[in-house]
Structure 1
Amino acid sequence: MSKKTNITGRYVFIEVEGIEYRVYFEESGEGIPILCQHTAGSDGRQYRHILDDPDVTKNFRVIAYDLPYHGKSLPPEGVEWWKEEYKLTESFFREFVINLSHELGLDEPVFMGCSMGGHLAADLALNHPDEFRACIALEGAMESHDIQDIMPWWHHPRLSNDSKPSLMYTMMAPQSPDANKNETIWMYSQGAPPVFYGDLNYYGIDYDTTETARNIDTNKVALHILSGEYDWSATPEKCKLLHEQVPGSTYTQMDEVGHFPMSENPAKFKTYLLPVLDKLLNES
């Protein structure tokens, strides 16, 4: 008998800023929908363990997508995208997620993102509180402007595409299983060279809630912030600062994980995620 998962994959067409994108997503489970945003330069495969976990999918419809230019979501047809620098902006990122949610017909979904997706969780809670019942920020900080100092490294002809995965390895916890850590950086090695650098435009430049985080209304949309102990980019200190500025938000430090909790150590991550999901179930 063949061995199969319950994960299904499809494409959907999304228009953002006047351009149509063919977007790949995978889903599994039933119940409250959760839109899952991957980290900069990677793709939705980072959530494959969550998609395959019956403790999650018995009550939640988990949807992990590839942002345009990532994974199986190819650059758009009909435009000469290769003549322009790829650069992820705040306006595009927010509009994409909102339009994807609408196109899929989701009713008050949960948004969960990591790294640049963790930043976006706070961004969406601030600017689109009526679209989501909750936002879960994994490695979401108030700002990450210090990344600008090393941004020029990530699309340079003298650096190979191995440099990016090697740096990502240093952001993971020593306790995380070697197999999972190497799978995480394997996904990074497959990204198009300009994409990681372009994603960092949002992560390190456009995004900044230093002056606005206090305006997030958790009576409209819950905000749950989880940060990995070994993350040296969106550090626990930075993530906790975001929590301290948002009345009613929750904060959890995830011990023994780093910047990629859902892929580097899914078993450990699950122990932190399930209490948040239980809280959402009880509040629904």
Structure 2
Amino acid sequence: MIKGHYVTVTINHEPHDIYYEKAGNGTPLLCLHTAGADSRQYYDLMKDKELTENFQVIAFDMPYHGRSMPPNGWWKEQYLLNTDRYVKTIMAFIDALNIEHPVVMGCSMGGSITLELAYRFPDKFRGVIALEAAAKTGGRFNEYLFHPQVHGGEMCATNVYGLMAPQSPEELRRKAWWIYSQGAPGIYYGDIYFYSEDWDATNRVAQIDTKKCPVFMLTGEYDYSCTPEMSKDTADKIPGAYFKEMKEIGHFPMTENPDLLMKYLQPVLLELSAKTN
């Protein structure tokens, strides 16, 4: 059973009402959505009985996204996400719910930030699973993502539709399109600012201590936003990191093909569930 809740957290001295959902019991598995989307991307994983028998899956909408509201005065400045604010948001949410030693799994920008979490707070996490992530992912930021002459919902949704594998069921690919079509104006643009401009951990990832916080990186073969080669190059810089290319999957594995993703996740989750902190 999936249960939805709200919690108020303080980020940079401002209160934020954050929406989140939980399903299952066991080791906490905190899931981070992609740029411009929300936690609905993890809906099918939260319904997976085998997963929720051993893990309590928790997914939340970042402020400005999905069912989470922006802070008071949001209209006074342009939304542009950066690394520090992203980390503060995640840690404030974890602290508010008293989540102890979770596994953190994120995709795309959510996958990238898991590497930062592993670098900054290795003792707080059982491990991180970075889906479609790399130490640097440039070249995605452009004015058409937030332009008065371009329909933002259509643009964002169709832009990401091409990042999915042709083998993924069309119904699920259309679900990903639908979620993206509903983002508020400028939010995808502001997230891509982090993902493509602000984010660069090239000189930090080699310092991640995988003995304290194991790092697992999984990337779909059809992802041209963050290619398997980019992910592998990052994993090679992290002593002890695990990398696997996922066949017949694109940039949104948990949404476009959750059953196939679970086949890649099962050995990773088994190893992490056995880890003690």
Q: Same fold (TM over 0.5)?
A: yes
Which of 132, 147, 165 lines up with 1:156 in the alignment?
A: 147
| Aligned residue in 2 for 1:209 | 201
Give the secondary structure class of the aligned counterpart of 2:196.
Answer: helix
| Aligned residue in 2 for 1:65 | 60
Deviation at 1:274, TM superposition (A): 1.2
Query: Identity across aligned pairs (percent)?
Result: 42
CA–CA separation in structure 2 for the residues paired with 1:222 and 1:197: 31
Which of 26, 38, 46 lines up with 2:41 in the alignment?
A: 46
Q: Structure 1 residue runs of 4+, over 4 Å off?
A: none
| Aligned residue in 2 for 1:123 | 116
Residue 189, structure 1, aligned to residue 184, structure 2? no
Matches within 5 A, 1:207-246: 207-246=199-238
> Which 5+ residue runs of structure 1 have no aligned equivalent?
1-5
Q: Which amino acid aligns with 1:125?
A: A
- Of residues 254-263 and 138-147 in structure 1, the stretch that sits farther from structure 2 once superposed is 138-147
Q: Which amino acid aligns with 1:58?
A: E
Deviation at 1:130, TM superposition (A): 1.7
Which of 249, 252, 258 lines up with 1:257 in the alignment?
A: 249
8 Å Cα contact 1:98-1:131 kept in structure 2: no
Give the secondary structure class of the aligned counterpart of 1:145.
Answer: coil
CA–CA separation in structure 2 for the residues paired with 1:280 and 1:8: 25
* Number of residue-to-residue matches in the alignment: 275
TM-score of the superposition, structure 2-length normalised? 0.97
CA–CA separation in structure 2 for the residues paired with 1:202 and 1:129: 22
Which of 99, 104, 108 lines up with 1:111 in the alignment?
A: 104
TM-score of the superposition, structure 1-length normalised? 0.95
8 Å Cα contact 2:20-2:60 kept in structure 1: yes
Which of 38, 51, 60 lines up with 1:56 in the alignment?
A: 51
CA–CA separation in structure 2 for the residues paired with 1:62 and 1:27: 6
Deviation at 1:283, TM superposition (A): 2.3
Matches within 5 A, 1:72-83: 72-76=67-71, 79-83=72-76
CA–CA separation in structure 1 for the residues paired with 2:91 and 2:225: 27
- Of residues 138-147 and 115-124 in structure 1, the stretch that sits farther from structure 2 once superposed is 138-147
8 Å Cα contact 2:126-2:275 kept in structure 1: no
| Aligned residue in 1 for 2:3 | 8
> Which 5+ residue runs of structure 2 have no aligned equivalent?
none
CA–CA separation in structure 2 for the residues paired with 1:209 and 1:85: 24
